[in-house]
Amino acid sequence: MEQQREEQARKLQRLQCAVQNYDWGLPASASRVASLHALNAGASLDPRNPYAELWMGTHDSGPCYLKNNSNANSSNYHSEKNNGPAAPTTLKSWLLQNPCVLGERVLVNWGCDLPFLFKVLSVGKALSIQAHPDKELARALHKRLPDIYKDANHKPEMALALTQFEALCGFVSLEDLKDVVAGVPEVAELIGNRNKDQVLNFNVKHGQEKFKPVLQEAFTRLMSADKDLVAEVVSKVKCRLQSEIQLRELKERELLVLRLEEQYPGDVGVISAFFLNYVRLKPGEALYLGANEPHAYLSGECVECMAASDNVVRAGLTPKLRDVPTLCSMLTYKQGHPEILRGVSVNPYIKKYLPPFDEFEVDSCALPQGASTAFPAVPGPSIFLVMAGQGTIEADSLREEIAEGDVFFVAADCEILLTAETQLQIFRAGVSSKFLYRQ
């Protein structure tokens, strides 16, 4: 019987998750991350702190811990059973002790660890102009600067909007960039006449691949410009737009530039916003980003999933360390508007968001009061987040009451049944089904 209880306990584990108080987060009173953290950890909130990210995974920079509930019966959980409560057990250490819960295919490919990191983000002001390295570059950066680049993994990611969500992502089309260079004198001043002429004189018929070196040279010149010159030019664009707003209606991107200047006065990221696509997601829409693609989240709240990494190469809109040469050399310089995912219906209650990465996918479940739905068993691990509402979660013979802020680890090959007592909103992160069922 004890062995059976231990076997059941491995299938469903309630988690206490980490919170990050980055300065771009929202204040406690307005942050979904803050409210989820308070419920998940039973923690009091500091109204002086911004609440930016809730982390659900095994990354060392923000580990999850197993909570002492009815499922935590295993001797692995209480190593000091006879001498008072043990130190909290991290999900990562528990997975090392119970690798079978990950499934054979995940174990073979990624070892005794979750290949994905699941988050909630509350964005109050712009994050840095940044990109995430591919695996080869991540290994090199981690070896060279381990205190800055904390792991050797790549970091493809996806943001699924909970509210209206704004981002900069990827480079604008050649046609749009020609308009920028011709119509924004401050951009032309920072990239120089030679780069300006190269952009304006490039024949679109020659194709995007041949334009990439031109774009790289212009963008690198911009991002590498002298700090004092940048501050002067940013001041010029601010003054010009504030003057012109009296005479005409400013374009959306111009209004964005003024907003960014308020947040980061004199920063080169203000000008670089002219180079990048301005994307606005509605709730339920998702944006995914591969390695070496420039981006910056601007405002709103989202669920985010990524490969299990915290590697970020920054070059603007940040007080943190910037690595401009690395960022400008690593980018793909692909142009055009990014693909927006709207989810594929699995059943009347569940939508699946499946980006082109092996490490993760995300399901969104909206369950009306009194309804039930099942998540079929899959040969890989999952993390379930209760975003709103109350109900129950069942895994085989295990049944748990659930409410907003609850987070669960679910083992491979375990079917989950959800029942809503009130309207229930659930998000699930798991390994990509394309990877799990690939022949």
Query: Model confidence over 131-180: pLDDT tens digits?
Result: 999 889 999 999 888 888 888 888 899 999 999 999 999 999 999 999 99
**What is the 8-class DSSP label of residue 24?**
T
Of the two residues 221 and 88, the one the predictor is more confident about is: 221
Mark 10-37 as b/e (b = at least 16 C-beta within 10 Å).
bbbbbbbbbbbbbebbbbbeebbbbbbb
What residue has token string 């590697």? 311
Strand partners, 383: 409, 429
The candidate with the shortest Cα–Cα distance to 154, out of 169, 170, 140, 136, is 136
| Residue boundaries of the structural domains of the chain | 174-274
Options 3.30.300.30, 1.10.441.10, 1.10.10.10, 1.10.1040.10; CATH for 174-274 is 1.10.441.10
Q: Are the beta carbons of 93 and 422 closer than 8 angstroms? A: no
Q: Where are the alpha helices (DSSP H) in 164-273?
A: 174-183, 185-201, 208-223, 227-244, 252-263, 268-272
Q: In this model, does residue 414 exceed pLDDT 50?
A: yes
Element spanning 264, H or E: none
> Any idea which residues carry the catalytic annotation?
314
Query: What pLDDT band is residue 309 in, cutting at 50, 70 and 90?
Result: confident
Q: Is the pLDDT of residue 321 over 90?
A: no
Alpha-carbon distance of 411 to 3, in angstroms, equals 17
Nearest to 418 by CA among 378, 375, 389: 375
pLDDT at 396: 83
Terminal Cα-to-Cα distance of the chain (whole angstroms): 38
pLDDT surpassing 70 at residue 422 = yes
What proportion of the chain, given as a percentage, has pLDDT over 90?
Answer: 82
Residue 5 has pLDDT above 70, yes or no: no
Exposed, middle or buried, 413 (CB in 10 Å: 0-12/13-18/19+)? middle
pLDDT in tens, 183-237: 999 999 999 999 999 999 998 878 788 999 999 999 999 999 999 999 999 999 9
Tell which residue, 115, 128, 127, 109, has the closest CA to residue 155: 115
C-alpha 420/C-alpha 400 separation (Å) is 12
Q: What is the mean pLDDT of the chain?
A: 92
Of 401, 399, 406, residue with least CA distance to 14: 406
Parallel, antiparallel or unpaired: strands 26-27 and 50-51: antiparallel
Token pair of 205 as six digits: 């018929």
Beta bridge partners of 123: 25, 300
SS3 at position 133: coil
Average pLDDT over residues 56-68: 92
Q: What is the DSSP letter of 25?
A: B
pLDDT: which is higher, 60 or 391: 391
CA gap 303, 164 in Å, rounded: 12
Q: DSSP readout, 312-373?
A: -EEEES-SS---HHHHHHH----BSPPPEE--EEEETTEEEE--S-SS-EEEEEEE-TT-EE
Angle 246-252-253 (CA atoms, 0-180°, nearest 5)? 105
Residue 249, CA distances (Å) to 39, 108, 240, 246 in order = 44, 57, 13, 8
What's the pLDDT tens digit per position in 295-308? 999 999 999 999 98
pLDDT at 349 exceeding the cut of 60 = yes
Reported as a pLDDT band with limits 50, 70 and 90, residue 109 is very high
Predicted local confidence at residue 320, as pLDDT: 86
Query: Binding site for Zn(2+): which residues?
Result: 130, 132, 157, 295
Half-sphere exposure of 106 (CA within 13 A, CB side): 25
pLDDT at 83: 55
**pLDDT for 121:** 98
Q: What is the pLDDT of residue 360?
A: 97
Annotated binding site: 130, 132, 157, 295
Encoding tokens for residue 166? 């704004």
Query: Which backbone phi and psi does 102 adopt, to 5 degrees?
Result: -85, -20
Range 60-80 average pLDDT: 60
Residue among 244, 275, 70 nearest 170 (CA):
275
Task: Write out the two tokens for 113.
Answer: 């660890």
